Amino acid sequence: MMKLREEFSRRAASYDSAAVLAREVGRRMAERIALVRLAPRRYADIGCATGDGLRALQQRFPDALPLALDFARPMLQVVAAQAKWFERLRGRAPRCVNADVRALPLAGASLDLVWSNLMLHWLADPRPAFAEIHRTLSDGGLLQFAMLGPDTLKELRALGAPVANFIDMHDIGDMLVAAGFSDPVMEMEMLTLTYATPRGFLADQRRLGVRAALLGSLGWRQWRKLFAGWQRVDGVLPARFEIIYGHAWKVAPRPEKKLAADGRAIIRFARSGG
């Protein structure tokens, strides 16, 4: 994670020029959250990058207090620089928090919504992150996220490329339940980006700051051998990404039944007025 943090930090200036997939996934996440009855007082975009998701949430929930959280400080500097004057005037400019999702510097039950777009898959084990998000959500709070799935770039994986291994959506659902979330809903779809040349594909991953994390550390000669087998479709090179969408709620714990000394449940009746 340290190397990934350093790479993200170096690429804050170039990130937006290559973040086509993240913007499209964020748009689809925004469509999904528009169908949910939710009026958060405070929400956080965890792994916010330059703040595209935050801007969508600010349009949806203009009266809520937004938190921009990322482990790369230069990304947060971009978010802060893009805040509008009227947001600052209303006290609704994003609060920027430089932190790791596995150790959030936030009070318990302090958020009503957590949004995370294409970040959680970079964690080797997302269970500590799910536990921290659950801790910081209030009862009735919602976690909505998108992650890369295991069939990402399978056309390159089939050629022998060392594409990162990502977690299956069923396992993610199990992790959410283990973290205390209720009835997680998981969806999957394949999105395809197309490139004129392999160099264009590699350049995008470099501008995003994920080339090494996604594709390993092969040299250009090795990549040339692999790319020789990359089949064009209608004259372009397809790069398919498996996108896993998920949402889950934090529900209030059920009150425990009081038991008599012999273990029987105690049920109390109250006389109604009138």
Phi then psi dihedrals of residue 12, to 5 deg: -60, -35
Q: 212-221: per-residue pLDDT in tens? A: 999 998 888 8
Give me the pLDDT at residue 260, please. 53
| CA separation, residue 264 to residues 90, 257, 259, 261, 270 (Å) | 55, 10, 5, 7, 19
Q: Locate tokens 């059920």: which residue?
A: 254
Q: What is the identity of the amino acid at 223?
A: W
Q: Does the residue 120 lie in any domain?
A: yes
Give me the pLDDT at residue 3, please. 80
Q: How far is CA 265 from the centre of its chain?
A: 43
Q: Does the residue 159 lie in any domain?
A: no
Distance CA(97)–CA(159), nearest Å, equals 40
Average pLDDT for the chain: 92
Q: 188-202: per-residue pLDDT in tens? A: 999 999 999 999 999
Question: How many CA atoms, within 13 angstroms, populate the side-chain half-sphere of residue 159?
Answer: 16
Give me the pLDDT at residue 269, please. 45
Phi then psi dihedrals of residue 69, to 5 deg: -125, 125
Q: Does the residue 210 lie in any domain?
A: no
Instruction: Name every residue whose Cβ is closer than 8 Å to that of residue 225 and which is 6 or more positions away in sequence.
Output: none
Q: Does the residue 43 lie in any domain?
A: yes
Phi then psi dihedrals of residue 99, to 5 deg: -160, 165
Instruction: Name every residue whose Cβ is closer than 8 Å to that of residue 169 and which is 6 or more positions away in sequence.
Output: 149, 186, 187, 188, 244, 246
Give me the pLDDT at residue 4, please. 85
Residue 224 burial (C-beta neighbours within 10 Å; 0-12, 13-18, 19+):
exposed
Q: Does the residue 16 lie in any domain?
A: yes
Q: Does the residue 174 lie in any domain?
A: yes
* Ramachandran class of 226: left when φ > 0, alpha when ψ lies in -120 to 50, beta otherwise: alpha
* Ramachandran class of 51: left when φ > 0, alpha when ψ lies in -120 to 50, beta otherwise: left
Domain span at residue 110?
2-147+167-188+244-249
Mean pLDDT, consecutive 10-residue stretches, the chain (274 aa), reads 84 95 98 94 97 95 96 96 87 94 98 98 97 98 98 96 96 97 96 97 96 90 93 97 97 66 51 48
DSSP secondary structure string, 165-212? Answer: P---HHHHHHHHHHTT-EEEEEEEEEEEEEESSHHHHHHHHHHHT-HH
Confidence (pTM): 0.90
Q: Does the residue 239 lie in any domain?
A: no
Give me the pLDDT at residue 258, please. 54
Q: Does the residue 184 lie in any domain?
A: yes
| CA separation, residue 9 to residues 78, 102, 105, 168 (Å) | 11, 18, 20, 28
Strand pairing report for 137-148 and 111-117: parallel
| CA separation, residue 49 to residues 78, 121, 251 (Å) | 8, 15, 29
Give me the pLDDT at residue 272, please. 47
Count CB-CB contacts under 10 A for residue 206.
17
137: domain CATH number? Answer: 3.40.50.150
DSSP secondary structure string, 45-98? Answer: EET-TTSHHHHHHHHH-TTSEEEEEES-HHHHHHHHHT--HHHHHHT-SPEEEE
Domains held by the chain: number: 1
Strand pairing report for 65-70 and 42-46: parallel
Give me the pLDDT at residue 89, please. 85
